[in-house]
Amino acid sequence: MSIPFIIAIDGPAASGKGTLSRRLAEALELPHLDTGLTYRAVAHALLQDKQPLDDEDIAVEAAKKIDLGVLDPIVLAVHAIGEAASKVAVMSRVRITLVDKQRQFANAGKGAVLDGRDIGTVVCPDAQVKFYVTASPEVRAERRWKEVQERGNLTGSDASFETILSDIKLRDERDMGRADSPLKPAEDAHLLDTSKMDIETAFHTALSIVKSSNPK
């Protein structure tokens, strides 16, 4: 059996990595996992059960129960769940539990596209292609705000642009500043700054890099 062809995509919140990952997965006919949903699912379970977000034993039990097959991106998109997820994500034993599930997904078939914060550095350090997607906090807040506008009534989100911008900055601090698996580019990652690049350009740039890295 040949080695799975894994594409690792990391970057901060609302950098465009999710859209890029989905487009690449579709074009290459590979399964895709948004690993942020796994942290969001733990946060959602804790919030629903009215449990604290900083009790590691309780959070690990919730993480063990997460089924990657039934993650609902619409339910988990709520702004407050993203905030709670970045708190849950600082706990090392929660990360170990979720990373184990993410690795199983990555290695289950002919390959996969995974996006998150630590895919190229921790989850799949041997991925054949790695991208680090970024954009300025203002550009990212603008994108997230538009998404919230479009989805508003569906998810009950009501965050203003200012709230989203300050949350994005705080989230960056938490994601980049945590001791375990902080967000940072892998040494061998291709950097894609999408501040002034539309998704089509980012997608075609990434696809040509993938094609030149794939020996097949």
Point out which residues bind ligand DC (CB under 6 A): 13, 35-36, 39-40, 82, 85-86, 89, 116-118, 171, 175
Q: Measured from the CB atom, is 117 or 130 closer to ligand DC?
A: 117
In the bound complex, what is the minimum distance in angstroms from residue 128's beta carbon to ligand DC? 18
∠206-207-210 over CA atoms, to 5°?
90
How many whole angstroms separate alpha carbon 168 and alpha carbon 20?
A: 19
Q: Measured from the CB atom, is 82 or 111 closer to ligand DC?
A: 82
In the bound complex, what is the minimum distance in angstroms from residue 99's beta carbon to ligand DC? 8
Q: Measured from the CB atom, is 124 or 210 closer to ligand DC?
A: 124
In the bound complex, what is the minimum distance in angstroms from residue 73's beta carbon to ligand DC? 9
Q: Measured from the CB atom, is 13 or 164 closer to ligand DC?
A: 13
In the bound complex, what is the minimum distance in angstroms from residue 215's beta carbon to ligand DC? 27
- The answer to whether 190 touches 130, Cβ cutoff 8 Å, is yes
Q: Measured from the CB atom, is 33 or 206 closer to ligand DC?
A: 33
- The answer to whether 8 touches 120, Cβ cutoff 8 Å, is yes
In the bound complex, what is the minimum distance in angstroms from residue 79's beta carbon to ligand DC? 10
